[in-house]
Structures are given as C-alpha cells and as structure tokens.
Amino acid sequence: MSYQVLARKWRPANFKQMVGQEHVLQALVNALDSNRLHHAYLFTGTRGVGKTTIARIFAKSLNCEHGISSEPCGSCSSCIEIDEGRSVDLIEIDAASRTGVEDMRELLDNVQYAPTRGRFKIYLIDEVHMLSKHSFNALLKTLEEPPPHIKFLLATTDPQKVPVTVLSRCLQFNLKRMSKSQILSQLQFLTEQEKVESDTTALTQLASAADGSMRDALSLLDQAIGYGGGAVRQQAVESMLGSISRDYLVRLFNSLYDQQAAGLLNEARAVIEHNPDYQRVCAEMITLLQQIALYQSDPKLVNEDEFDEALLQKFSAYWSPEEVQLYYQILLQGRQDLLICPDEASGFEMLMLRLLAFSPQSETQNETIELKKKPESKAVLSTEEPSQTSPEPEPELEESNQIYSPPVTNTGNHIQTASTATEPLNWSELVYELGLTGLAQEIVANSLLEYYRDGRLQLQLQPEIHELVNDLIKVEITQALEQELGVSLHLDLVATGVAGGQTPLQAKIQRQQQERLMAIDAIRDEKLVKKLQHAFSAELDEASVVKIENNR
C-alpha cells in the first residue's frame, strides 16, 4: 500500500476527534441532536483549520443510515462512501476552478431531483468566494427557496468577498486559528502513534511555524520526518525551517545589553553564516520580547512551552518594560524593512545596529562618560589603626547609603575621618563615577551599601539581581572600585534585599522626577505661557515636558 500523508491519514472522522473549534462543534452537535437544521451553512477561517473536514463530518451526520445524529456510525455504506470521496449524494465543488456561470447552472439544474441513496443531496462548495458575480446570482435563487432535500455547505477563507445577499441566507461559523499549545499537543500525540522519535523543542518549533494551521503543522511534520531520516530533532528542524537556535537569540540579546557594537555585529554575522530565514529570526526575537514583557507584568502570564523561566527572569532584570516595548516596536518595523532591502543579510546587520542606536542605555553610558570628565571629588579614606586610648564608636548605616571607613566621626550627613574633615562621598554618586557598563553597572545601580570596613566592602542586592552575578562581573566591579577609591578591596555581594534603603538607581529616578516637576513649575510661571493660557483657554500638557540633552 502506498504511503498516505499524515494530514489525510489522521483527518478527523467525527466531531470528537476534532482539535479545537468547540464554539462551532457545539452549535452543530445541538442542531443535529435536536433536528433543527438549516438549509445552508458557511464555514469561514484561515487555511488548515478544519472547514472542509467539519463539512464532511456534518454531511456524514446528515446521511448516516442509522439516522441523523451528531455521532455518525462511520461503518455504514453512506459514511464509508463519504470518507472515501465517492458518495453520489455529496457533490464537492472547487469554486476556484469552476467559477463560470455555466458550470454553476449545470450543477443547479440537478437540484430538483431527489438524492440517489442518502437522506439529503449535499453541495459542498469550497472557496466559494472565488465564484463569479453571475455564478452567485445563479446560486442565490436556489438559496432563497431550496427544496427540502438540499443542503448547502460553503467554505471560504475570505468571507468579505461573498455577497451579503448570500451571507444573509446562510448560518455563518467562523473557525479560529489553532493555538500553539493545541498544535503541539496533537503533534506529540501523532509522533507517539507513528512511533517517531522526537524532541519537544523541535515539535514546538513546528507548531510555531504552522501559524495556527493544523494541516500546515502535519505537512511540516511529514517534511521533518523525511528530513531527519525518520526522527524529528531540533537541529534538523532548525535547518529545515531556516530558523536559529535559541542560544543565538540569547547571545544577540546579551550583546545588545552590553551595548557593544562589535560584539553585536559578530553575533549577527554568526547568525548570517547559517543563511537563515530572516523573517523567522526576527519573529523569534519578537516572540522572546513579548514573553519578557509578559513576565515583567506577571510571571504567571507566560506560556511555559515558549522559553525557559530562568531565561525570561534574566532578561526581565536586564531591561525596563519601556526598553522591551521599544525593542519590540523596532523589530516589528525592521521585519517589514527587510522585505525591501537589496540584501537581507546587510539589512539584518543594520537592524541590529538600529536596536543599539536607539537603546536608552546608550544615553546612560554617555552620561557616565560626561561624569568621568568632571573634576572628581573623593573622600580620603583613612587606613591608619585606631587609637588604643580612644574607644571606637560603632558607625550607623545612614539612609543616604554613604561609604565610611573607621575610625570615623559621623556629623550629620557628612562622614569625616578621625584626622581630617573631607567632603562626603555618597554611594549613589560613586556608582555613576565607576565607568561600569552593561550588567555590572545595572547590579551596582540596584544595590545598597552594607558597610565598608578594613578593606571589605559589602553590597546588598535583591535575590533576582544576585542571581545575575558571576565571577567576571564581580571582578569587574571590584577593579572599578579599587581604581576609583585607590585602595585594595574585598567585595561581598549578598542577596539580603534592599528593603529600607534607596538604591542609586532609585535615587537617580527620584532626582529626575524632581527636576521634571521643577521644570513644569517654571514653565507654568512663565508670563508668555500664562498669556497663552488666558487667551486660548489652554492647558499645559505636562506629559510633553521632557529634558533635552545637549551633547555638543
């Protein structure tokens, strides 16, 4: 026996075998069981969601020899003939190839005659929107006054092209696209039944590539089995689909966070070497950003089958929700731009550079560079041993999160050494003078200073931030602090949380908010603004007040 493709072999034979479309199936089941049957049904929806399959099952339910019901027997001669496509009372018409009015009139001339064997004569017209205007006019008369033994089952992917006069005479059912989880579950079931070895990751990629179409998913599964030599593996599926491994996605996003153009281009060119489908690569990056945004809103909202939770947690800590939305929008627009690029590879490189150019982090780094150019004012940290005669008071941690080194005298908000009064050194200010970038800068900006004593400096971190720390990051922070303070340090990073204190990032945000409020008040006090408000009954749009950076 010749091989039968999976899409035909596993086509549902009854309503219970259908995947999804419960809103349509429930209506049809109730109509069949209560014998409240309309003369014309219109099934709409994108390709491969089950329009003609539902129509054939419905036809079996109508003409089953055991009576009209929502559960056709599947074993009588009528059911078998419909399954095999040779029923004389089920006339299937492909409107895409038979669009002429003469074809339609020839078919409708036989409407008046009773069915040959079954209970009804059923016309199943696929892609009905392809009929010509005259063909619709010929069909309309029959739809208005059909004989009692006639049923029309119409299917289309574009109901907007069907005349409203036809739509008004049909019961319309809109079939939904299949969800990724529904397709994945069905693919897992079929590989088990077919005894085909498979990876969950590979099947997930196939389910995503199917784009809501079960038929496309089964066709892709057939192709993957052939491509993989009888097995469905991740690497083979990635090569077949022109997609890339998620490891490349992680490296691209890491380079984007580090704000290093050379590193980002190197990772982009590593992707280009695989000659992927760039539309699919962009789609995978967009999907990852969407999952990050959901995770930032509520971790319970993410789809567990999409990406590993640790990966989402990592990138959620990397970027603010505003940055994620910005990157999402850039990639959406960039995906369209790739279609008109003279070379998709170079267009993909430019898209990665666009992400870097419009990144808010690049502005933060420019501010850090400007701070380094300003005259530095540091506190002199005493390394002398305390006097044996004078007791050493235990220093208290201030909410201002200032660095201190014993022996010290705490005079209000100023920290002084035992011998010489110096300018206070605020941890929130020091963080942005270290010259750190990327993840290291993000970690210290979200930290609180626990203490600095005898060459040991300890920072408090939130547990989720502490998970991002590795040996390289710790060494980078330590070296920056040693260079800035001019002493040898042992750095401790502890995951005790930052409750009760204000991190440098929070202090910066608060300072920016205060500056903005002061700017709004200053604008309101302007005489010209007051005149305009009085003359035109105008109101100041506070949301439009933004700080303009002068980089010259």
**On the CB side of 181, how many CA atoms lie within 13 Å of its CA?**
5
* Same domain (yes/no): 254, 193: no
Task: Report yes or no on 295 lying in a domain.
Answer: yes
Assess whether 427 and 474 both reside in one domain: yes
**Mean pLDDT across the stretch 332-356?**
91
The reply to whether 236 and 264 lie within a common domain is: no
- Which residues are bridge partners to 173 per DSSP? 43
Pair (162, 187) in one structural domain: no
Q: What is the pLDDT of residues 198-226, one digit of tens each?
A: 988 889 889 888 888 999 999 999 999 99
The helix/strand/coil state of 321 is: helix
> How high is the pLDDT of residue 306?
65
Q: How confident is the model at residue 523 (pLDDT cuts 50, 70, 90)?
A: confident
Shared domain check, 333 and 445: no
Q: Cα dihedral angle (19, 25, 26, 31), rounded to 10 degrees?
A: -160
CATH at 548: 3.30.300.150
Q: What's the CA dihedral at 84, 87, 91, 93 to 10 degrees?
A: 20
Burial of 135 (C-beta count, 10 Å sphere; 0-12/13-18/19+): buried
User: Does the residue 187 lie in any domain?
Assistant: yes
552 and 466, same structural domain? yes
Q: Does 391 map to a domain?
A: no
Confirm whether 368 is domain-assigned.
no
- How many domains is the chain built from? 4
| 291 φ/ψ angles, rounded to the nearest 5 degrees | -70, -35
Tens digits of residue pLDDT in 432-459: 888 888 888 888 888 888 878 778 888 8
Q: Does a structural domain hold residue 1?
A: no
End-to-end CA distance of the chain: 78
Q: Which residues partner with 456 through β-bridges?
A: 453, 490
Residues 12 and 111 reside in one and the same domain: yes
Residues sharing a CB contact under 8 Å with residue 255, sequence separation 6 or more, in sequence order: 263, 264, 266, 267
Question: Which pLDDT tens digit goes with each residue over 272-283?
Answer: 888 888 888 898
Global pTM reads 0.57
| CATH code (residue 122) | 3.40.50.300
Q: Where are the alpha helices (DSSP H) in 298-417?
A: 309-318, 321-337, 344-357, 360-373
Determine, yes or no, domain membership for 201: yes
Structure confidence by residue, pLDDT tens digits, 296-310 = 888 878 766 567 777
> Which of 143, 174, 205 is where one domain is finished?
174
For residue 364, is it within any domain? no
Strands ordered across the beta sheet of 40-44:
90-94, 121-126, 150-156, 40-44, 171-174
- Please tell me which residue, 387 or 87, carries the higher pLDDT value: 87
Phi, psi (rounded to 5 degrees) for 411? -115, 85
Residue 206: closest CA among 163, 240, 255: 240
In terms of residue numbers, what domain contains 227? 180-241
The CATH number assigned to the domain holding 231 equals 1.10.8.60
Six token digits for residue 450: 């626990």
How far is it, in rounded angstroms, from Cα 450 to Cα 500?
A: 12
Q: Is the peptide bond before 115 cis (omega within 30 degrees of 0)?
A: no
- Strand 456-460 to 490-494 pairing: parallel
pLDDT band at 381 (very low <50, low <70, confident <90, very high): very low
The answer on 252 and 236 residing in a single domain is no
In a shared domain, residues 331 and 228: no
The answer to whether residues 221 and 325 belong to one domain is no
Model confidence at 383: pLDDT above 80:
no
The four Cα atoms 245, 250, 252, 258 give a dihedral, to 10 degrees, of: -170
Q: Where are the alpha helices (H) located in 210-320, listed in sequence order?
A: 214-227, 234-241, 246-258, 261-272, 278-297, 309-318
Task: Summarize pLDDT for 524-536 with one digit per residue, the tens.
Answer: 888 888 888 877 7
* Count of other CB atoms within 10 angstroms of residue 103: 17
Q: What is the rounded distance in angstroms from the CA atom of residue 162 to the CA atom of residue 95?
A: 12
Is 60 exceeded by the pLDDT of residue 254? yes
Identify the pLDDT of residue 512.
Answer: 84
Same domain, 428 and 532: yes
Q: What is the DSSP letter of 228?
A: T
As a whole number of angstroms, the distance between CA 50 and CA 214 comes to 8
Residue at which a domain ends, from 189, 221, 241: 241
d(CA 304, CA 4): 34
pLDDT exceeds cutoff 50 at 463: yes
Same domain, 266 and 350: yes
Domain boundary among 195, 210, 241: 241
Kindly calculate the radius of gyration of the chain based on its CA atoms and give it in whole angstroms.
35
Taking residue 176's Cβ as centre, other Cβ atoms within 10 Å add up to 16
- Residue 325 — very low, low, confident or very high, per pLDDT cuts 50/70/90? very high
361 pLDDT tier (thresholds 50, 70, 90):
low
Please provide the average confidence, as pLDDT, over all residues in the chain: 81
The angle subtended at Cα 317 by Cα 316 and Cα 322, nearest 5°, is 60
Find the CATH number of the domain harbouring 287. Answer: 1.20.272.10
Residue 54 domain-assigned (yes or no): yes
